[in-house]
Structure 1
Amino acid sequence: MGREHEDNAPEVRDGLVFGVHWGFLAFFAGLGGYYLVSLVLAAVLTGSVDDLPARASTEIGPIILLAFLPNLLLGLGPAIGSWLRGRGLRADYGLIPNARDLKVGLACGGFALLVGYLLNLVLLAVYGPESVNSGPLVELASGLGDELVWLILAALVVVLAAPVTEELLFRGAMWNSLAFYRVPQWAILLLTALVFAQVHGEPSRMIALFGQGVAIGVARLVTGRTGASMVAHAANNLPPALLLFTMP
């Protein structure tokens, strides 16, 4: 009987790679790839960005959209980790939003917008409009000008692609790994929001990004699914994406 119980017991190392949950390795692989590609692009595109105003409009779009490449790679590590060591994207992360994910995600996305708006008002008073109002999207819009095709592609990346890759990393691989080691849910919510804010690389807006990260993370906390936080993230990114078409 003791032998039968031993045979049916779960493996102690299930879900582990080199003694560490595979989600942690997937998280650091995604984050490491993000910074590595960012450094490579910074080195390769330095000259291209300097003479951007002199380039033809057909060349500007591809150069600027390359800036999104590191962001898209954030989700590669979690995806590969899930395929190799996990049960697949749908099972590990709840990647495909269901009806409840949509409801909770939209509510949390609206709350994230409100939190970001209120915190940015405070940051405006502290840092001034030049620091808070400037950012990657402002630079992107000014570079693309009125090139409609490239603006549409940029908006799609901001609303669809970025929420998927970032949520796979933060509210997917990182969240699952911390939960595997029984870190309290409230601590996971704050930790993932903190890393989410730091990766965006906007020091003057970090407090607002942290608040928005918490609001987006609540969708994952309530539903237990990354699909809900993806919806919240997309809803939060929609107004800034639409503003791309209104900037001079």
Structure 2
Amino acid sequence: MTSRQSRESVPDADDTLDAESAAIDTPVRGPAPVHRWGFGAFLLVEAVLLASAAFVGVLLGKPADGGPLPVWHVLIGTMAPTVIAASVAILITVVRGNGPLADLHLSWRWDDVRLGLRLGVVGLICTTVGAFVWTQAVGEENATSAISAMVEDQPMSVSAAVAMFLYLWLLGPICEEVIYRGLLWGAVERLNWGNEKWGRLAAFLISTAVFAVSHLEPLRTTLLLVIAVPIGLARFFTGRLLGSVVAHQMNNFLPALAILLTGLGVLTI
């Protein structure tokens, strides 16, 4: 071996140090953490949702004159059960899993936000067209959402209107996504579907259908399916919850704004 060959065969000390540093800095990715909750957890959360809605309804009672419920009663009756159920879902991931960040695939990524915004816009268009067609088919009185019907033509304070707007636009979608595209999605994917793609597809289809039915508005179920598809696609394409949360919030923005402006008397419909 010549001296030149000997020099070429011995790695440079700096190159060796760089290689070792890269090996240290590169994280070792193990398998995704497995949680110990499944459909039982989702059914428990649904039971909590229904039971808390019934309890809050009894607690608030009905007006003595048989008139419409006060706006704050509508707001509490809408918010409390969903927030309680989502809190139970998060607690389940802590007690029976690896916490909400790991089990519900919650992480901040700008790509997820951008995709959620795009699919949210698509959802708004689909919802607008679908709502128009549905209204023509079943009549305006049957196409109105339950919340809109309860606050329609009622005077609303600024604080109540803002609280309703923020819940429908921001908080409500977070809670619903935790329950349906988080807990239910994870329960479906946990089953043995043969491969990850089939599990994700099954989770998309089942969570979309259950989301629409769980609103307990039979006449609007078809419309809710149209609304749910772009939201579910955000979860399907990213594999994480943030995209569907953003898409849901984007989809809810205009309806929430309409209720806000109507409640404040700025808009009449």
TM exceeding 0.5: yes
- Aligned residue in 2 for 1:64: 74
TM-aligned CA deviation for residue 50 of structure 1: 5.1
TM-score by length of 2: 0.76
- Aligned residue in 2 for 1:44: 59
Structure 2: stretches of 5+ with no match in the other structure: 1-33, 263-267
- Aligned residue in 2 for 1:153: 163
CA distance in 2, matches of 1:31, 1:211: 22
TM-aligned CA deviation for residue 76 of structure 1: 2.1
CA distance in 1, matches of 2:103, 2:149: 35
The DSSP-based 3-state class of the residue aligned with 2:260 is coil
- Aligned residue in 2 for 1:137: 148
Residue from 4, 17, 35 that aligns with 1:15 = 35
| Count of matched residue positions in the alignment of Structure 1 and Structure 2 | 225
The DSSP-based 3-state class of the residue aligned with 2:62 is helix
Residue from 190, 205, 215 that aligns with 1:190 = 205
Deviation sequence 1:119-170 (CA, Å, 0-9, x none): 2222122211111135313423544x24111110111111111111110111
- Aligned residue in 1 for 2:8: none
8 Å CA contact retained: 1:26, 1:78? yes
CA distance in 1, matches of 2:88, 2:38: 9
Residue from 227, 234, 237 that aligns with 2:249 = 234
CA distance in 2, matches of 1:110, 1:202: 24
Superposed CA RMSD in Å reads: 2.2
TM-aligned CA deviation for residue 243 of structure 1: 0.4
The DSSP-based 3-state class of the residue aligned with 1:244 is helix
TM-score by length of 1: 0.82
C-alpha change, 1:182 and 1:232, in structure 2 (3 Å) is farther
- Aligned residue in 2 for 1:93: 104
Structure 1: stretches of 5+ with no match in the other structure: 1-13, 17-21
Deviation sequence 1:74-111 (CA, Å, 0-9, x none): 31232011111222222222334320111111111111
Identify the structure with bigger relative contact order (alpha carbons < 8 Å, sequence gap 6+): 1
8 Å CA contact retained: 1:120, 1:208? yes
CA distance in 1, matches of 2:240, 2:65: 43
CA distance in 1, matches of 2:108, 2:212: 24
Task: State which drifts further: 225-234 or 127-136.
Answer: 127-136
Pair 1:173 & 2:183 matched = yes
- Aligned residue in 1 for 2:129: 118
Percent identity over paired residues: 27
- Aligned residue in 1 for 2:6: none
The DSSP-based 3-state class of the residue aligned with 1:28 is helix
8 Å CA contact retained: 2:181, 2:232? yes
Task: State which drifts further: 42-51 or 61-70.
Answer: 42-51
Deviation sequence 1:167-225 (CA, Å, 0-9, x none): 01111011111111144232321210111111112222111111111110000001000
CA distance in 2, matches of 1:97, 1:157: 21
CA distance in 2, matches of 1:49, 1:83: 43
Which has a greater percent of helix?
1
Task: State which drifts further: 115-124 or 27-36.
Answer: 115-124
8 Å CA contact retained: 2:188, 2:202? no
C-alpha change, 1:181 and 1:63, in structure 2 (3 Å) is same
CA distance in 1, matches of 2:114, 2:179: 22
- Aligned residue in 1 for 2:23: none
CA distance in 1, matches of 2:186, 2:128: 29
